[in-house]
Amino acid sequence: MFEYLKGMVTAVMPSYIVVDVAGVGYRIITANPFAFTEQQVATVYVEQIVRDNEQTLYGFQTLDEKTLFQKLLAVSGIGPKSALAILASSDHTGLVQAIVNDDVTFLTKFPGIGKKTAQQIILDLQNKVDELPFQTQMDQFELDVPKPKAGSDLDEALQALEALGYAKKDLKRIEKQLQTEAFADTAAYVSAGLKLLQ
């Protein structure tokens, strides 16, 4: 029904953002909410999923991400939460390589993806790699810029990763490593955490 929404981002939470469009606040679940900035106008590509008693909007920064989300949902055994967890990684080229090279191990590192589902992803998408819209995105790391609020940025990033389905024990394991770095913002901590979890 919706292709995209353009409006003011009024809230950024660990698992979703709120976008005000003409006075209506849309709650949109995203892979990395902290990639959006509060009180800034954003264009969010959306996919509406309607279930028995629930209507949910899933949001993406680019049309390519939305298309990839749709392709992943077409795979048997992949639900919206698992698809979002896969999309949260900025390394989309790594995903392509895993599909091309039958790399089940790479895919099973995402929460909710077991060996059988990973094999299904490879089976369903291996012959459609040319159709997958991947763009290598620049990491948003600014390693030389320490921020005084690094503690809260890290805490928010860990909450976002937990919302994606990563286990608390795995998050505890990477927390100390992330504490030794000074990333620019929460989104950068999320990206770094995803790399450590894979």
Residues in the chain: 198
CA–CA distance, 21 with 97 (Å, rounded to integer) = 38
Q: What are the residues whose beta carbons fall under 8 Å from the beta carbon of 53, sequence distance 6 or more?
A: none
CA–CA distance, 60 with 52 (Å, rounded to integer) = 24
Taking only the tens place, the pLDDT of each residue in 88-107 is 876 677 787 888 888 999 88
Average pLDDT estimate for 160-187: 84
Taking only the tens place, the pLDDT of each residue in 38-65 is 999 999 999 999 988 889 999 999 888 8
Q: What per-residue confidence (pLDDT) applies to 119?
A: 93
